[in-house]
Amino acid sequence: MATLKEQFWDPVAGFGVTFRTMFKKVVTEQYPFEKFPTAPRFHGRHQLNRWPDGLEKCIGCELCAWACPADAIYVEGASNVDLPDGSGRFSPGERYGRVYQINYLRCILCGLCIEACPTRALTMTNEYELADDNRADLIYEKSDLLAPLLPGMEQPPHPMLLGDDEGDYYRGAYAAPAPTAQTAPSAPGSGAGA
């Protein structure tokens, strides 16, 4: 009798689960076509930030690479020497990140590199689509990670435009950007300090 039960009743019982769920509301998300926003503090793709004049915030200290538990970050720092014509700066500091790579095949998106960065040069965006069909394309270079140039920024290398030395940048003591043609200049003595 046990074999008769196994032959007839078990398949019917198994299909019972299928028939019960057949008429329930579908909860599947239509991901590629309907993208929902992520949480505000979501850890996604990294971004190398810039100062308001376009210079890079990364000083090539390699602390992010040391803090990475997955060994996914590779940084090569280089001296940030002014050329005689004053056009040789990539960052306000003594050094800059000449080579910066993040291997997203290894990265676990933990955010320890963000905590280790002394200049807040490295942050994480909400971008979560990090899949590709080629392994080499998942190693992001510095050009892939740098924040885009916003209006008023200049592509490095160029001299420091916001202050006389790197201390002005790091303390936030640089002058406010010059008013554009669309905004009226402020009255003298009103002060526009940073």
| Residue 58 scores a pLDDT above 80 | yes
| Residue 102 scores a pLDDT above 70 | yes
As given in the structure block, the two tokens for residue 48 are 């190398």
Query: Among 98-112, 119-133, 171-185, which is the least confidently predicted range?
Result: 171-185
| Residue 185 scores a pLDDT above 60 | no
CA distance linking residue 115 with residue 95, whole number of Å: 20
Query: Among 34-43, 49-58, 92-101, 162-171, which is the least confidently predicted range?
Result: 162-171
| Residue 50 scores a pLDDT above 70 | yes
Is the alpha carbon torsion for 166, 170, 174, 180 positive or negative? Answer: positive
CA distance linking residue 106 with residue 28, whole number of Å: 29
Confirm or reject CATH 3.30.70.141 for domain 46-170, answering yes or no.
Answer: no
pLDDT tens readout for residues 4-33: 767 777 777 778 878 888 888 877 778 888
- Model confidence band, residue 186 (pLDDT cutoffs 50, 70, 90): very low
Which pLDDT does position 83 carry in this prediction?
Answer: 58
Cβ distance 91 to 56 under 8 Å? yes
Rg (CA), the chain: 27
Is the alpha carbon torsion for 139, 142, 147, 151 positive or negative? Answer: negative
Q: How far is CA 77 from the centre of its chain?
A: 19
Which pLDDT does position 75 carry in this prediction?
Answer: 96
Spell out the domain ranges in the chain.
46-170
| Residue 191 scores a pLDDT above 70 | no
pLDDT tens readout for residues 38-48: 998 899 999 99
Residue from 138, 156, 136 nearest 146 by CA: 156
Q: What secondary structure does DSSP assign to 141-158, as a single string? A: -HHHHBPPPPTT--PSS-
CA dihedral of residues 47, 80, 176, 122 (deg, nearest 10): 20
Residue from 122, 119, 38 nearest 72 by CA: 122
What would the mean pLDDT of 138-160 be, rounded to a whole number?
91
Which pLDDT does position 16 carry in this prediction?
Answer: 81
